[in-house]
Structure 1
Amino acid sequence: MDFQTSQSNQASQSPHTFQVDLRGLVDLLSHHLYSSPKVYLRELLQNAVDAVTARRAEQPGAPARVRVRTDGGGLRVEDTGVGLTEADVHALLATIGRSSKRADGIAAARSDFLGQFGIGLLACFLVAERIRVVSRSARAPDARPVEWTASDDGSYTVRTLPDEERREPGTTVYLTARPGAAEWLAPARVLELARDFGSLLPYDVTVDGETVGELPAPWDRAHPSPAARRVALARHCHGLFGFTPLDAIDLSVPLAGLRGVAYVLPSAVSPAQRARHRVHLRGMLLTERAEQLLPDWAFFVRCELDTDSLRPTASREALYEDETLAAVREALGGRIRAWLTGLAAGDPERLRTFLRVHHLGVKSLARHDGEMLRTMLPWLPFETTDGEVSLEEFAQRHPVVHFTRTVEEFRQVAPIAAAQGIGVVNGGYTYDGELVEALPSVRPGTAVAELDADTVTAHLDPVGPAEELALSDFLAAARTVLDPLDCDVSLRAFHPVSVPALHLDDRASRHERDRAEAQARADDLWAGILGSLRGGAPRARLVLNHLNPLVRRIGSLKEPDLIGTAVQSLYGQALLMAQRPLRPADSALLNRAFIGLLEWATHEEGGRS
């Protein structure tokens, strides 16, 4: 390799500096990092509060003020913070992504800061075409004020100013609105945003002379009595979230520097609906849509809290998922769990009021928490053949706690089971089946069994041999009619007498029917495989009630066609009574039975005429 080639290679490997398209970067921030241009004011407030915090760390007696003023399409934010020197301006404002929090002497207090000065100021270009910063450093009293002026095209200037331009340490930021963004700098909008973002800030913050802060925080204010405190918190909740809560739960995690309150919703919500909570970071509103703050089961509360340890994401509009947040989530879940336990022990009437609305959330918790299930057993409502009662009360009444897997099964057997003295719990609702199965683990000695067709049939009175023999032809015809539907027919005597027939179809029989239908649709290979899986599972069963007068009259019929139509009608009526979804074959049978009855009725009418 000759000298010229080597020299050329060295030149091609020399480092280059990235060129930043500021307008493109601002567009990226507005469309992908920040949810709304309104965050510009939060960033300005954060910078001002951080500057004040930095100065007071070195000068505890320094003034702590932030003044926001609107001025005909422009905005001015002035603080009494630590200020900047000319070197700071070049290092922090002219370099994208550089943070004053990394500066020497401040790193030790970094946990006290909310944001990053450089990238935060850049967010102002979401609403401004020009930014002017005038600052005087508290660390260098002899340094003159410095001015940094930047435009949204990426150009900026830096110059020192005469002493009279700013006598006291601190920083003033001036914004000039960009076309179409003046509404974000309007006085009413600025005041609204400042109150929303800065209501819990620890310093004196005003907008056009109006105070923004509302300290102490609602959960820290003194009240003459617990009742007065509940009323005050309920009023605050209504103004914040738009509802009057059933109750307010204090939240406190000292190790995470967290304080706040959880408000219990007054109406039921879906567990799938993501709860959104308001989180302040050292007094500044971080987000009002924190979804991962509480365990999934605590979907019945909305929270507002302040913390100094949770980590924000890059946009500072959400919480970063890390070990600290996981620990806080578990601790807050423990506070809500303790509140429930306290209600059960000391205020059962409030607990009943709560459970009438939010029993689903407590059941979700109890299925994973044996202690909570044990505590809530006397209170959680379940649908049973005894009405709506707790599992504790139900287990005391019945030696065996039977349950169904689906709501349809319960509706099918509930009237019959109740008449025969069989205790059944409807396990078809969300979490209920799991909780019934977990009952022996928290109530030793309790027998739990899933209800099946054989159990129900065994509790029905058999018919005498002579009576069943007299109806043998009718029963044989009925079995022939229903055999294509994989349904057997049996005769029993049971109450209530008004029920002519009962359709019993447990999970095992449905599984076998599904297997058979899949086998019929499959090719030869899969049909053979599915056929080998055929088991001895029972088929569905139509139990005819010998005590019912209609069944007795049908049993005396002699015409085969009329017997078939009558049996089909009884089968269809039993399906409808169970509110079970109809298969295509069931719908076709009901249609045939209806048409058959009409033809028989019109034929008889014609014969009489």
Structure 2
Amino acid sequence: MTSAGAAEATPPEANSFQVDLRGLVDLLSHHLYSSPRVYVRELLQNAVDAVTARQALHPDVRVRIRLSSSAGGVSIEDSGIGLTADEVHTLLATIGRSSKRGGEHGLESARREFLGQFGIGLLACFVVAREIRVVTRSARTPDAAPVEWLASDDGSYTVRTLPDDARPEPGTTVHLEPRPGSEEWTRPDRVEELARDYGSLLPYDIVFSADDGTDGGAERPITDRPAVWDREYASPAARRVALNGHCAKLFGFTPLDSIDLDLPVAGVRGVAYVLPEPTSPAHRAGHRTYLKGMLLTDRADNLLPEWAFFVRAVVDTDTLRPTASRENLYDDETLAAVREALGGAVRQWLTELAASDPQRLASFLSVHHLGVKSLARHDAELFELMLPWLPFETSDGQLSLDEFTAAHGEVHFTRTVEEFRQIAPIAAAHGLGVVNAGYTYDADLLALLPTVRPAVKVTELDAGAVTERLDPVATSAELALASFLATARTRLDPHGCDVVLRAFQPVTMPALFLDDRQARHERDRATAQENADSLWSDILGSLRSAAPRARLVLNHNNPLIRRVAALPDPELTATAVESLYGQALLMSQRPLRPADSTLLNRAFLGLLEWATLSAVQGTTPREDQP
């Protein structure tokens, strides 16, 4: 019971969504589709699906799809399933409704073969059309009359029944009248080009004619089946020539090699072409992907693993899902499994190449070693297989790790290219094996090396390892320079740097700055402590470690070092030592701390002042002079 005066609830009023067709066209052309060119794909897709449905009912029916273009617009005619008047009202004017959905209008048994899935259909053609006219006759209802559906881009449409002679046979004809400004997309040469691009692998014969009187309406085939990778050839050489031509036409390069991609379980068949030029690992390759013979995209960047950036693939699939725009692949579990399997095919090609054609493998690696290194990081078996071939920059030159470890049982590596270039000449002269791990993937592979070569020891290069390999100076000579070394150590101690005297090559290098990761961490901690407030300074002070300090190794073989050591003025000696430290620090390309910059400035001004006074007085400044 309701209380007196209370309003009774009214039943809900049923309403339908209203769709602004102009707004929908704007959405399709500016947000869903990348270009108006997709309208040709939509026309071909609808025709192919209609023919597929017709063949499911009548397998022996003669299939025909004819695309044409003229100044008046674009037309496509098919001998497909057709529509009745009721189906025209229900399907053509309802967004999201498709004749492939099943139920009374669908053929569920054939749906797997349909290209269209989203029900946008002909409405997508409004991206270039002002008006769409459809004349259709149903093959499921033989006594049904032909029906005309005429739609305008203002959102209105009409439906009327036509005489039997308007279309004697079942099927559908669609005609597009271009909107002003879209004529370039409906020119005969452009339509033919787009049709070949999208439809060359479609399973039915499709022809094109230019109904503008230029060639007498001659029909030219659009489809070109079977795909080039599935054709029979007189010899492997003939197949290779055909594939090379196909690659040059699609991608604009002649490949180093081609890799067959055949996954019957996943419904994927195609070929991968190996690029003839190096490419960046960061570059996402665009692969050409067909869905049931219809071009989906030529920019699929998720089809192959990221490490396979050295190939461009062309595949046809009937299992992978397209995105709503039908311009890329939907990244789901199925695509992930296919991507892994296609990567396996590329890996297998590498394995077979190593076993059967080492010379061709060497040629390939000279161009694409980065891609193989990227793959080998996650595949110890492949890494071991590639060890004789993968190049690394070492202190002995450009070598494979197999060659390098044959000469050095212990492998040292630097993490930066700059550090390697500073130490490489010295390491080579003193028999120290150093690998440059500053390049992409090399540090990861060196960490993996002991798992495939257990006898090899891999360590990061540290100051101690280098110093031990340098020739010691005779005790008498070092004692004679004790005062000089004490001055140098006192001056550089505040900078967390020890001073060591050694004899090494090349003679032209007066000093060498060495440190390792722990020493750098300790230097960074000390710098942070100096600049912190009292609380953080105490905390950072408690973190002080006993890590080895950086070292300035002075080269006793270098004449400059001997002259500096012989200077009678301790202050000038200290300034010269600071200059040597600054020069060695710059050569190592380490980041300069504020204290280092101050030292370099002080040393430069000190030497400039000394040189100026010497020039003015003609003598070395006395000890009582500033």
Q: TM-score, normalised by structure 2?
A: 0.93
Within the alignment, does 1:420 sit opposite 2:430 as a pair? yes
The answer on whether the counterparts of 2:66 and 2:77 sit within 8 Å (CA) in structure 1 is yes
Q: Deviations over 1:247-285 (max 9, x none)?
A: 111111111111111111122222111111110001100
Out of 353, 363, 370, which is 1:343 matched to? 353
2:602 & 2:535 partners in 1: Cα distance? Answer: 35
Q: What corresponds to 2:307 in structure 1?
A: 297
Q: Does 1:242 align with 2:252?
A: yes
In the other structure, the counterpart of 2:212 is none
Matches within 5 A, 1:62-141: 62-104=61-103, 106-116=107-117, 118-141=119-142
Q: Which one-letter code corresponds to 1:174 in the other structure?
A: H
Instruction: Please list, as runs of the form range in 1=range in 2, the aligned pairs for 1:143-542 lying within 5 A after superposition.
Output: 143-208=144-209, 209-542=219-552
Offset at 1:414?
1.5
Equivalence for 1:575: 585
Tell me if the contact between 2:575 and 2:603 (Cα under 8 Å) persists in the aligned partners. yes
In 2, Cα distance between equivalents of 1:142 and 1:95: 25
Equivalent residue for 1:545, pick from 552, 555, 560: 555
Structure 2: which amino acid aligns with 1:550? L
Structure 2 gap ranges (5+): 210-218, 620-626
Give the direction of change, closer, same or farther, for the CA distance of 1:142–1:261 in structure 2 (3 Å limit). same
Q: Classify the secondary structure of the residue corresponding to 1:130.
A: strand
Q: Output the CA distance in 1 between the equivalents of 2:261 and 2:107.
A: 31
**Per-residue deviation, 1:408:** 2.4
Q: d(CA) in 1 for partners of 2:537 and 2:484?
A: 35
Separation in 1 of the partners of 2:47 and 2:274? Answer: 35
Q: Which residue of the partner structure matches residue 38 of structure 1? A: 37
* Cα distance in 2 between the residues matched to 1:389 and 1:573: 31
Alpha-carbon separation, structure 1, partners of 2:399 and 2:542: 45
Q: Does structure 1 conserve the Cα–Cα contact (< 8 Å) formed by 2:136 and 2:172?
A: yes
Contact 1:398 1:423 in 2 (8 A): yes
SS in 1 for 2:370: helix
Q: Deviations over 1:549-598 (max 9, x none)?
A: 22112111111232123212322332343344444544444444344434
Matching residue of 2:215: none
Task: Give deviations 1:496-552, integer Å, cap 9, x for gaps.
Answer: 333221110211111111122222333333322222211111221101111222211
d(CA) in 1 for partners of 2:359, 2:597: 48
Instruction: Specify whether residues 504 and 336 from structure 1 end up closer, same or farther in structure 2 by C-alpha distance, changes over 3 A only.
Output: same
355-364 vs 485-494, which moves further: 485-494
Q: CA deviation digits over 1:114-134, x for unaligned, max 9?
A: 014841211011111111111
Change (3 A) 1:506 1:268: same
After TM superposition, give the deviation of residue 40 of structure 1 in Å: 0.8
Q: Which residue of 1 aligns with 2:17?
A: 18
SS at match of 1:339: helix
Looking at structure 2, the residues matched to 528 and 78 of structure 1 have their Cα atoms a distance apart, in angstroms, of: 85
Letter matched to residue 237 of structure 2: A
CA displacement at 1:226 relative to structure 2 = 2.1
Q: CA RMSD in A?
A: 2.0
Decide which moves more: 297-306 or 87-96: 87-96
**Would you say 1:57 and 2:61 are equivalent positions?**
no
Deviations 1:90-112 (A, max 9, x none): 22112111011113451111110
Counterpart residue identity of residue 18, structure 1: F
One-letter identity of the residue aligned with 1:129: R
- Tell me how far 1:337 sits from its aligned partner: 0.2
Kept in 1, the 8 Å contact 2:369–2:391? The answer is yes
- How far has the Cα of 1:28 moved from its partner? 1.4
Alignment-mate amino acid for residue 82 of structure 1: I
Contact in 1 for aligned 2:409/2:455 (Cα 8 Å): no
Q: Residues 245 and 580 (structure 1 numbering): CA distance in 2 closer, same or farther, change over 3 Å?
A: farther
Q: Which amino acid aligns with 2:77?
A: E
Q: Distance in 2 between matches of 1:282 and 1:456?
A: 63
For 2:10, the aligned partner's letter is Q
Is this contact kept in 1: 2:513–2:581, CA < 8 A? yes
Q: Which moved more, 1:560-569 or 1:177-186?
A: 560-569
Letter of the structure 2 residue corresponding to residue 10 of structure 1 = T
Cross-structure match for 2:214: none
Q: How far apart in 2 are the matches of 1:595 and 1:225?
A: 77
Equivalent pairs, count: 608
Residue 486 of structure 1 and its aligned partner are, at CA, apart by 2.1
Q: Which protein has the bigger helix share?
A: 1
| DSSP-derived class of the 1:338 partner | helix
In 2, are the aligned partners of 1:479 and 1:488 still within 8 Å (CA)?
yes
Quick one: which amino acid aligns to residue 482 of structure 1?
Answer: L
**One-letter identity of the residue aligned with 2:9:** N
What whole-Å deviation, never above 9, does each CA across 1:218-244 have from its counterpart, x for those lacking one?
211233322332222122112111222
Query: Matched residue of 2:100: which SS?
Result: helix
> Structure 1 residues 282 and 437 mapped into 2: Cα distance closer, same or farther (>3 Å)?
same
- Is 2:376–2:382's contact at 8 Å kept on the other side of the alignment? yes
User: Following TM superposition, by how much is the alpha carbon of 1:605 offset from its aligned partner in structure 2, in angstroms?
Assistant: 3.0
C-alpha distance after superposition, 1:165-203 (max 9, x if no partner): 001111000111112112111111111111111111121
Contact between 2:118 and 2:324, CA under 8 Å: does it hold in 1?
A: no
CA deviation profile, 1:65-102 (whole Å, cap 9, x unmatched): 21111121411111111111112112211211101111
SS of alignment partner, residue 265 of structure 2: helix
2:441 is aligned with what amino acid? Y
CA–CA distance in structure 2, aligned partners of residues 559 and 62 of structure 1: 107
The verdict on how the C-alpha distance between 1:582 and 1:242 changes in structure 2, with shifts beyond 3 A counting, is farther
Aligned-partner SS, 1:77? strand
Q: Conserved in 2, the CA contact under 8 Å of 1:86 and 1:146?
A: yes
Taking the aligned partners of 2:605 and 2:537, their CA distance within structure 1 comes to 36
| One-letter identity of the residue aligned with 1:253 | L
Q: Would you say the 8 A contact 1:411–1:579 is kept in 2? A: no
Deviation at 1:320, TM superposition (A): 0.8
8 A Cα contact 2:417 2:438, kept in partner:
yes
CA–CA distance in 2 between the matches of 1:542 and 1:73? Answer: 83
Residue type of the alignment partner of 2:144: A
Q: Is the 8 A contact 2:405 2:411 kept in 1?
A: yes
Q: Following TM superposition, by how much is the alpha carbon of 1:151 offset from its aligned partner in structure 2, in angstroms?
A: 1.1
Please give the alpha-carbon distance, in whole angstroms, between the structure 2 residues aligned to 1:378 and 1:252. Answer: 29
Q: Distance in 2 between matches of 1:190 and 1:8?
A: 62
- 1:582–1:225 CA distance, 2 compared to 1 (3 A): farther
Q: 1 CA distance for matches of 2:612 and 2:191?
A: 80
Match of 2:26 in 1: 27
Cα contact 1:367–1:431 (8 A) shared by 2 = yes
CA distance in 2, matches of 1:528, 1:291: 52
Q: TM-score, normalised by structure 1?
A: 0.96
Structure 2 counterpart of 1:9 = 9
